[in-house]
């Protein structure tokens, strides 16, 4: 392993924490006696659905843009995303005085486009079927000198996402296990780094949709597996392959990768709505669903942390999920 692949370190997580102090919300840690009784453990939900922009993505985006030189920031930042990363980058850029351009598919939900424009970003549309967004991004980069902010495979993104788990440990103390939603692995790699600095006992688990278990396959085989576009309601976790920077950290610090089904996600989403009065998007339910549906063996009264990653879901879609007879 090269020295570079061992980065970022826990010290980088602390630096990200300092950058985010007073800017990111210190999101609440919620508990539910009903959930604890149901699973036979003490569960602590770190609620990033209440983060600025509605998901943890703001943490990494802000940390990455704050780490740029003034000259780079003056050129502006660029991102491609149809989801929470778009809003995180747009908001972080505005707060740091940088221009942001977000490349979104032309069929992206109108609510997401509106929210991203609302944070002051310019939205450029592309046709998913005929155009390649990386080519468009490269072209804009060449013409304008704008800096690309990647969604997960970047050291500053990873150490920014790590601050959610850092806050959780600081608030509740030692944990036996930490469950983390998993797409490209920025949140998981970061959470594992935070655990490595703040806990001596905590096992860290990544949870991805069963239909898109590329990281589970990669973790088992020891090299990055790329899959075809998966079908799952967890739209924030449909990445086709884990990152080249996130994977070595996951291999080194994560205990295992678990999966849950869409039906299990819906059950957990309903639990959050009905019993905890909070809206969580499907992807945000991954960690909690793994605990609720027995994906890990729980010993009585173990202390389990869960990162609830976001709450941005189209209302019509959400109400459809809630009314499904599952
Ligand atoms: C992006 C996202 C994830 C996955 O994060 P990665 O760092 O790509 O693994 C999980 N949940 C939500 C709500 C997200 O927006």
Q: What is the pLDDT of residues 271-305, one digit of tens each?
A: 999 999 999 999 999 999 999 999 999 999 999 99
Does residue 237's CB lie within 6 angstroms of at least one atom of ligand 1? yes
Q: What is the mean pLDDT of the chain?
A: 95
pLDDT of residue 326: 81
Question: Residue 253 pLDDT > 90, yes or no?
Answer: yes
Q: How many helical (H) and strand (E) elements, i.e. helices and strands, does the chain have?
A: 14, 10
pLDDT in tens, 189-241: 999 999 999 999 999 999 999 999 999 999 999 999 999 999 999 999 999 99
**pLDDT at residue 264, rounded to an integer:** 98
Statement: residue 242 has pLDDT above 80:
yes
Q: Ligand 1 centre from 10 Cα, in Å?
A: 21
Q: Which of 3-17, 120-134, 249-263 has the lowest mean pLDDT?
A: 3-17
| DSSP state letters, 153-178 | SSHHHHHHHHHHHHHHHHHH---SEE
**Cβ pair 169, 162 in contact under 8 A:** no
Give yes or no for residue 182 CB within 6 A of ligand 1: yes
Which position among 17, 81, 82, 218 bears the catalytic label? 82
Residue 182 reports pLDDT greater than 80: yes
Q: Residue 112 catalytic?
A: no
Which residues are CB-neighbours of 288 under 8 A, at least 6 positions away? Answer: 35, 43, 45, 179, 268, 271, 272, 280, 306, 308
Q: Which H or E element spans position 256?
A: strand 256-260
Q: Is 176 in the pocket of ligand 1 (CB under 6 A)?
A: no
Please check the confidence at residue 320 and state whether its pLDDT lies above 70.
Answer: yes
In three-state secondary structure terms, 145 is coil
Residue 243, classed as helix, strand or coil, is: coil
CA angle 220, 226, 227 (to 5 degrees): 100
CA atoms within 13 A on the CB side of 215: 33
CA-nearest residue, atom 13 of ligand 1: 310
Average pLDDT for residues 73-99, to the nearest whole number?
Answer: 95
Residue-level pLDDT at 80: 92
Our answer to whether residue 82 is catalytic in this structure is yes
User: Which of 27, 45, 56 has most ligand 1 atoms within 8 Å of its beta carbon, as the pocket-test mutant?
Assistant: 56
Residue nearest to atom 5 of ligand 1 (CA): 183
HSE value, Cβ hemisphere, 13 Å, CA-based, for 196: 22
Which residues touch 5 (CB under 8 Å, ≥6 apart)? 245, 248
The number of the ligand 1 atom at minimal distance from the alpha carbon of 283 is 11
Angle at 166 between CA 164 and CA 170, to 5 degrees: 120
Q: How far apart are CA 307 and CA 166, in angstroms?
A: 11
Q: What is the pLDDT of residue 6?
A: 62
> How high is the pLDDT of residue 269?
98
pLDDT exceeds 80 at position 260: yes
User: What pLDDT is recorded for position 107?
Assistant: 86
Alpha-carbon distance 264 to 325, whole Å?
Answer: 12
The model's pTM is: 0.96
Map residue 297 onto helix, strand or coil. Answer: coil
pLDDT at 2 over 60: no
pLDDT 10s digits, 157-171: 999 999 999 999 999
Please tell me whether residue 35 adopts helix, strand or coil conformation.
helix
For residue 1, the model assigns a pLDDT of 43
- Ligand 1 contact, 187 CB (< 6 A): yes
Q: What is the pLDDT of residue 263?
A: 98
Asked whether the beta carbons of 272 and 287 are under 8 A apart, the reply is no
**Who wins on pLDDT, 207 or 111?**
207
pLDDT (0 to 100) of residue 287: 98
Average pLDDT over residues 4-17: 87
At 144-153, the pLDDT tens digits run 999 999 999 9
């Amino acid at each position: 392993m090269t020295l570079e692949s061992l980065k970022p370190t826990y010290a980088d997580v602390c630096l990200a924490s300092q950058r985010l102090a007073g800017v990111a919300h210190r999101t609440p840690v919620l508990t539910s006696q009903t959930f604890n009784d149901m699973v036979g453990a003490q569960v602590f939900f770190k609620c990033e659905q209440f983060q600025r922009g509605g998901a943890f993505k703001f943490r990494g985006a802000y940390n990455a843009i704050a780490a740029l030189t003034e000259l780079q920031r003056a050129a502006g930042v660029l991102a491609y995303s149809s989801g929470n990363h778009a809003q995180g980058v747009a908001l972080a850029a505005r707060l740091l005085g940088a221009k942001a351009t977000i490349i979104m598919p032309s069929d992206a939900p109108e609510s997401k486009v509106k929210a991203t424009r609302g944070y002051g970003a310019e939205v450029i549309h592309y046709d998913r079927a005929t155009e390649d967004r990386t080519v468009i991004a490269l072209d804009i980069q060449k013409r304008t000198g704008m800096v690309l902010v990647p969604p997960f495979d970047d050291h500053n993104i990873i150490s920014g996402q790590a601050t959610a788990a850092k806050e959780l440990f600081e608030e509740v103390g030692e944990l036996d296990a930490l469950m983390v939603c998993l797409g490209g692995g920025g949140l998981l790699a970061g959470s594992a780094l935070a655990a490595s600095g703040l806990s001596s006992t905590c096992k860290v688990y990544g949870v991805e949709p069963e239909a898109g278990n590329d990281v589970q396959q990669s973790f088992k085989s020891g090299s990055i597996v790329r899959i075809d576009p998966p079908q799952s309601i967890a739209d924030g976790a449909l990445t086709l392959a884990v990152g080249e920077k996130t994977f070595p950290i996951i291999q080194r610090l994560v205990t295992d990768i678990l999966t849950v089904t869409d039906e299990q996600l819906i059950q957990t989403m309903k639990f959050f709505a009905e019993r905890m009065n909070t809206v969580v998007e499907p992807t945000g339910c991954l960690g909690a669903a793994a605990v609720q549906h027995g994906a890990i063996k729980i010993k009585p009264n173990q202390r389990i942390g869960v990162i609830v990653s976001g709450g941005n879901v189209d209302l019509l879609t959400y109400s459809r999920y809630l009314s499904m007879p599952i």
